[in-house]
Amino acid sequence: MNPEGNLSEGFEAGAATPNADTNFASEPAPLQAQAAGWYPAPGGQRYWDGQQWTEHTAPPVEGYPHPATMGQADERQMAMFAHLGQLVGVVSGIGGFVPPLIIMLTKGKESPFVRRAAVESLNFWITGLIAGIISFVLILLLVGIILLPLVALIWFAFPIYAGIKANEGVDYRYPFNIRLIS
C-alpha cells in the first residue's frame, strides 16, 4: 500500500502490465487473457478491465476463495448436497437418508468437512423421522394434528438453510439433533 492507503503500489492505472517495481511473487501478474473483473491483490482486490489494471481498489472480501484454493468449492458443494439430499425423503416419503449416506461413504473419506456435513445431515434425518413417528402417534391425542405439520415444516426448512450454510463453507450444526452417527 502507498502512503495514501490505497493499493496502487506496484500498479500503474492505465498500464497494460504492472510497473517495473512489481514483485510478481506477491502482486497479481498481468491478466492479458483474463476477463474484466476484481482479482485478489495484496491487502485487497484490484480491478482488471480486460486490457489493463485500473486505479480502482477494494478491501478483501471475507470468505472469498483465492483461486489457488478453489478445491474447497467442491467440498462446499458436496456438503451442500449432503444436506439438500435429505429433501428427497421429505418429497418422496422414503430414501432421504440415501444421498447423505452415499456422500458420507464416498466423499467423506476425502474431506473431513464433507464427512461432518453428511453425518450431521444423516443424524437430522433420523431425528426428523423419530419426531415424525412420535407426532403421528400423538394424533390419537390430538396433539399430533398440530405437531406433525410443524415437524414436517422444520424437516423441510432446516436442510435448505444448512445446505446454504455448507455452500458458504460453514460447518453447520442443526439446533436440535440426536447425534447417533459420529
Which domain does 76 fall in, by range? 67-167
Looking at residue 15, what is its pLDDT?
Answer: 46
Looking at residue 33, what is its pLDDT?
Answer: 59
Domain check: are 115 and 133 in the same one? yes
Between helix 112-137 and helix 71-84 the angle, nearest 10°, is: 10
Looking at residue 116, what is its pLDDT?
Answer: 93
Report percent pLDDT > 70 for the chain.
71
Which of 64, 92, 119 is the last residue in one of the domains?
A: 64
Domain check: are 133 and 55 in the same one? no
Looking at residue 61, what is its pLDDT?
Answer: 60
Looking at residue 72, what is its pLDDT?
Answer: 80
Which of 64, 98, 113 is the last residue in one of the domains?
A: 64
Looking at residue 71, what is its pLDDT?
Answer: 59
Q: What are phi and psi of 86, to 5 degrees?
A: -70, -15
Cα–chain center distance at 4: 36
Count how many domains the chain has: 2
179: in domain: no
Looking at residue 174, what is its pLDDT?
Answer: 92
pTM (2 d.p.): 0.59
Block mean pLDDT (10 aa), the chain, length 182:
44 46 47 66 76 78 45 86 85 80 90 92 92 90 89 91 93 89 85
In tens, the pLDDT along 60-108 reads 665 544 433 335 888 899 999 999 998 886 677 667 888 999 999 999 8
- What the block records as the C-alpha cell of 32 is 492479458
Looking at residue 30, what is its pLDDT?
Answer: 52
Looking at residue 69, what is its pLDDT?
Answer: 35
Q: What are phi and psi of 46, to 5 degrees?
A: -130, 145
- What the block records as the C-alpha cell of 41 is 491483490
Domain check: are 23 and 91 in the same one? no
Query: What's the rounded Cα separation, in Å, for the pair 20 and 102?
Result: 53
Tell me the three state secondary structure of residue 98: helix
174: in domain: no
